[in-house]
Chain A
Amino acid sequence: MNHVEICKDECKGCGVCVETCPRDCLMIGDEINAIGYQHVVFVGMGRCTACGMCYRVCPEPGALTVMADVKEV
């Protein structure tokens, strides 16, 4: 299923992806990561369209990886 993989120790918890996601798939969690931020968590299984908006606005190169369904032909 479409989803976003979060490299939690690369997230600075800025929340820009949370604000951006058109389908509310992301939220800031409670846990504090290795670099001292409350990182983002993915809560959009079934809603995520793998549009990549979160990836685009995120300032960190490797924090988010967007996984899309393989279209079986």
Chain B
Amino acid sequence: MSERTEVRFSKAKAFYDTFERKGSGDKVTHYCPGCGHGTIQKLIADCIDELEIQDKTVFLSPVGCSVFSYYYYDTGNIQCSHGRAPAVATGVRRTLPEAVIISYQGDGDLAGIGMTEIVHAANRGENITVIFVNNAIYGMTGGQMAPTTPMGQKTPTSPFGREVLRDGRPMGMAELIASLSAPVYVERCSVATAKDVLKARKVILKSLQNQVDKLGFSFIEILSPCPTNWGMDPVESRVWMQEQLAVLFPLGVYKDVTTHLVAVDPGKFHSPMDDDKLRELLRGASEVPVQRSSPLPHTQLIKVAGFGGQGVLSAGELLATCGMSEGIQVSWLPSYGPEMRGGSANVSVILSEDDIGSPLVDHPNVFIAMNGPSLDAFEDAVAPGGLILVNSAIVTRKVSRTDVRVVYIPATELARQEGLLSAANVVMVTAYLYITKAFSIETLRRCIPLVLRKKAYLNQNLALVEKVLDHCVRTAGSAGSDESDGSAGSENG
């Protein structure tokens, strides 16, 4: 017998040397003693080493006990929001054709909150590997019932045991995914015994090799112990898995068509669109040379509201397009009722010299009221000192606030005089620009053709702009004033 020994099994290279959580370096995982996550993650690391794919692996951590996986794997890492890893994987797949993507998910994550994402990623046959760790409960949050919890099992959310009429039956995810046509490889394995673990290693290896070979979607379900929440010791929990869990969720291959497949060049199917094509598709402000006239006085938090059909959303689009063409930050957030016509619509637009955090406008400093109900709905929300533009051709009442600037424009009437029935929006935007000087009217003229759907009306719209300017100039004495009822047309019925 030899005196010399060599390392046969040791920590995988795909792991970091130290797991630097919470500042201080550490060499142990955060998992409970005897948790299956550690065993499974070691198998994955080992397979990454064996396939020599560490440099191109992107490991997706879920929400759940394995949320901290990015502290362990010395690979690309993304921590995904709860259940969304398959959607993130799809994004990574489309942008990094050569990446090896591992979506590692628990049963609460994958079969609960993330059921939609996994089913659709599987159905699209994304070329990714999903490692589904089924411990039959929500581990991280304290052992609540999961879609995979066995009948009769007591958990904090099924204190008298899972019951069929109330909770439904446990779901077999391997069975469900295998019923779709796109996945190429679906197998369920376990880490209950050493034999199971060795088998699981082969299965994981194959699922990753499938991806490297660009064969398509592989789904590996692994039964895994959670001694802590099952209220068992680590050894007992492994016995329970064999006696109970593996009976409920039989191990084995649920689908494997990889032998008849040839590698698919992913580029063939999802070739990313080139920039020129994209530009052509989005034909808009990018065509307009960016030119800034003068800096914005302050961030414009704009709300436009009215009936559906009054061009409320387009008014927002026009404002945002003007902003883009002047190279500033813009956001456009529509919200409208169920009926596109006759219902009420409103849009929030932010124009800013700085980055925009949220596109929501709760307290506009510019409010364009296209009809009466909108004025009723938003008058009180306008920030003190803000500007309210009222379509006085339709809105019969006056604004009651006294701490805001109000301008009345008979917008619908002005548009009608120009032969345009639904161009009150253009009137309001023109008046807004005239009053605030946020952008030059020249910018507006440049942007109208980009936003206008019916190009045949372009000249009439441009003529309308001049008409509105004329109207504003005629009533300018008050339009430019700070009087609260300063009016570009209130007397001009």
Contacts and interface: CB of A to CB of B under 8 A. Distances in A.
Contacts of A53: 194
Contacts, number: 114
Contact of A10 (B9, B27, B197): B27
Nearest to B35: A59
A35 B15 CA distance: 20
Interface in B32-46: 32-39, 41-43, 45
B11 interface: yes
B72 A67 contact: no
Interface string A1-32: 11100010110111110011000000000000
Interface stretch (B131-139, B232-240, B313-321): B232-240
Interface string B1-34: 1111111111110010000000000011101111
A7 B27 contact: yes
A41 interface: no
Contact of B8 (A15, A35, A67): A67
Interface in A20-68: 20, 35, 37, 50, 52-53, 55-68
Given A57-B191, A59-B29, A66 B45 contact: no
Interface string B49-84: 000000000000000000000001000000000000
Interface of A: 1-3, 7, 9-10, 12-16, 19-20, 35, 37, 50, 52-53, 55-72
Q: What size tier do the contact residues of chain B reach?
A: 35 or more
A16 B238 contact: yes
B46 to A, nearest CB: 9
A63 B31 CA distance: 14
B2 A59 contact: no
A12 B198 CA distance: 22
A61 B3 CA distance: 27
Contact of A59 (B4, B5, B11, B31): B31
Contacts of A60: 28-29, 38
Nearest to A2: B5
A1 B4 CA distance: 7
Contacts of B234: 14-16
B2 A66 contact: no
A14 B34 contact: yes
B318 to A, nearest CB: 58
B201 interface: yes
Contacts of A57: 39, 191, 194, 197
Contacts of B193: 20
A56 B37 contact: no
A12 B6 contact: no
Interface centre among B28, B35, B36 (most CB of A within 10 A): B28
Contacts of B197: 56-57
A37 B5 CA distance: 29
Contacts of A15: 34, 233-235
Given A69-B4, A69-B5, 12 more contacts: A1-B5, A16-B235, A19-B235, A50-B8, A56-B198, A59-B36, A61-B72, A62-B28, A66-B7, A66-B8, A66-B10, A68-B8
A35 to B, nearest CB: 6
Contacts of B45: 61
B9 A59 contact: no
A59 B198 contact: no
B42 A58 contact: yes
A26 B207 CA distance: 33
Contact of B39 (A12, A58, A62, A68): A58
Nearest to B8: A68
B2 A70 contact: yes
